[in-house]
């Protein structure tokens, strides 16, 4: 996997990678990560991939991180 660049965001770490004819977007917040894959032929290049990260999309990604944290907390509570 080849690192291309970081995409600035105030609440998450976003890295853009290229691998196997796909762009891979890794979004990290705390101990959690979400990964999205975009076929290279579906966009004109890395800059267009960045435009896919609209405010609405990122809002939903951040909500999903909250859900992940809640699910993980419940799993830990149930185990102990």
Q: What is the pTM of this model?
A: 0.92
What does the chain come to in residues? 80
Sheet of strand 32-39: strand arrangement: 2-7, 13-19, 22-29, 32-39
pLDDT score of 72: 97
Question: Where does the pLDDT of residue 44 fall: very low under 50, low under 70, confident under 90, or very high at 90 and above?
Answer: very high
- List the beta bridge partners of residue 34: 27
- List the beta bridge partners of residue 20: none
Gap between the Cα atoms of 18 and 34, Å rounded: 16
């Amino acid at each position: 996997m080849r690192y291309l660049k970081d995409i600035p965001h105030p609440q998450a770490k976003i890295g853009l990678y290229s691998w196997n004819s796909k762009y891979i977007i890794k979004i990290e917040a705390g101990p959690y990560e979400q990964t999205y894959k975009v076929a290279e032929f579906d966009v004109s290049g890395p800059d267009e991939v960045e435009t896919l990260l609209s405010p609405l999309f990122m809002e939903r990604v951040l909500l999903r991180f909250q859900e992940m944290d809640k699910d993980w907390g419940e799993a830990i509570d149930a185990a102990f």
